[in-house]
Structure 1
Amino acid sequence: MKSTALIKFVTAAGLSAAIGFAQAGAVDALKKFNNDADGISGSFSQTVKSKKKTQTTHGTFQILRPGLFKWEYTKPYKQTIVGDGKTIWLYDVDLAQVTKSSQNQAIGDSPAAILSNKTALDSSYTLKEDGSASGVDYVLATPKKNNAGYQYIRIGFKGDTLAAMQLKDSFGNETTINFNNLNTKPKLSRSSFKFTPPKGVDVLSN
């Protein structure tokens, strides 16, 4: 369940975490990023609420377009998810296990597709302004396909900085992500997104 939740988070956060400014409204900021931004880095906290429990995790992330990303969970457990353009690698330190899957199949029409395909924003989502709360302006991204796996995604900006994302999946689980220390011009290289399974771990394929 932990690995499934992490993959869902990464594909969802791919849309939101890759946004750094909202000067002319949240929708305009999202579209501007989709056209202009090449990468982003920062830290995050994530809270997932299901019918049975609530869990909060913390970590850092890096994104480099087209299609490269790395999410490192540091608390309360250590896991790393790397997308190298072809394969998504999920390394669970506690289990000493690596799971790999096809990146195209894993992200599908998810928000992460926006990282590698600039047409995904308009082709997969309907966007509209969605009000303000506690100084944060929101844009609502609604999937155009019924089988997208998400009921909606809300992306919030405070001033010109991404502040939060809210996601509700098709099972009713709610995820809230708060972002900090964002850098919309990180110095990243493609080699930073190469992943080699550590010696002695089990490698599984999906």
Structure 2
Amino acid sequence: MRMMKSLAAAALLLATQAAHADPASVERLTRLLEPLKTYSADFDQQILDASGSSLQDTSGHMWLSRPGHFRWEVNEPYRQIVVSNGQEVTLYDPDLEQATIQPLDDRVTHTPALLLSGSASELAQNYEVTGQQQGTGETFTLKPKANDTLFEQLKLTFYSEKLGMLQMTDSTGQRTAIKFDHAEVNGNIDPDKFRFEIPASADVIREQSPATP
């Protein structure tokens, strides 16, 4: 479950001091994300603990097609694949020969990876958004309004209006920083990228959505 934890850092608390939403930042972020239909890029991911010590460094490639389709492949140091077909998310760990499948419900779509494949128009409804210009980059900080999301703070940084970095902090202070390189925006992506055939030898764990109160 390493990749799912690094993508979604299972934490359920909000930040104690939430920033006020900035309408101009919401509008600007929406303008950057709304035209994004597909996105693919190499990535380098680093996970740090609360003291700043490195816990894990990984690299691989990601593909995204809105709405709801996503593929994340870790190549180094351990192979791992996360695929969303728009209805379910499958996490496959080749070393364990194990596949975990869960519905694409609200809680899953609040993970950083799938947030990017959702609707930009819903950002103001679900997140407190603030923005900051940093040289040639624009950084947007998102803090969830709900109390059942999987991160406390998410930062998206754009360079020349292209997504270049994603940073996430969970309630334990663990930080995940993902740098994207060789990005292609709105290119053609084979639909088969968002289908995953589970090997016959794999153990399959199917998780259900939490019951609605």
Q: What is the TM-score when the length of structure 1 is the normalising length?
A: 0.81
- What are the equivalent positions in structure 2 for 1:104-123 lying under 5 Å apart? 104=105, 106-111=107-112, 112-113=114-115, 115-123=117-125
The SS at the match of 1:36 is coil
Judged with a 3 Å threshold, the aligned counterparts in structure 2 of structure 1 residues 116 and 136 are, in CA distance, closer, same or farther, namely closer
Cα pair 2:30 2:120 within 8 Å, conserved: no
The SS at the match of 1:71 is strand
Mind listing any 5+ residue stretches in structure 2 that lack a counterpart?
10-23, 208-213
Cα pair 2:26 2:124 within 8 Å, conserved: no
The SS at the match of 1:45 is strand
C-alpha separation between the residues in 1 aligned to 2:199 and 2:31?
Answer: 39
Mind listing any 5+ residue stretches in structure 1 that lack a counterpart?
10-24
Judged with a 3 Å threshold, the aligned counterparts in structure 2 of structure 1 residues 190 and 106 are, in CA distance, closer, same or farther, namely farther
1:88 to partner: Cα distance: 0.8
1:175 — aligned with what? Answer: 176
Judged with a 3 Å threshold, the aligned counterparts in structure 2 of structure 1 residues 170 and 178 are, in CA distance, closer, same or farther, namely same
Cα pair 2:128 2:143 within 8 Å, conserved: yes
C-alpha separation between the residues in 2 aligned to 1:131 and 1:116?
Answer: 24
Q: What is the TM-score when the length of structure 2 is the normalising length?
A: 0.78
* CA RMSD, Structure 1 to Structure 2 (Å): 2.4
1:103 partnered with 2:104: yes
C-alpha separation between the residues in 2 aligned to 1:157 and 1:77?
Answer: 28
Q: Residues 88-143 of structure 1: CA distance to partner in whole angstroms, max 9, x if unpaired?
A: 1111111111111112155143442452334421211122213426x533111121
C-alpha separation between the residues in 2 aligned to 1:28 and 1:138?
Answer: 14
State the identity %: 25
Question: Amino acid of the residue matched to residue 145 of structure 1?
Answer: A
Aligned residue pairs total: 190
Q: Residues 50-85 of structure 1: CA distance to partner in whole angstroms, max 9, x if unpaired?
A: 257521110101011111000000000101110011
The SS at the match of 2:105 is helix
1:2 partnered with 2:7: no
1:8 to partner: Cα distance: 1.3
Judged with a 3 Å threshold, the aligned counterparts in structure 2 of structure 1 residues 152 and 186 are, in CA distance, closer, same or farther, namely same
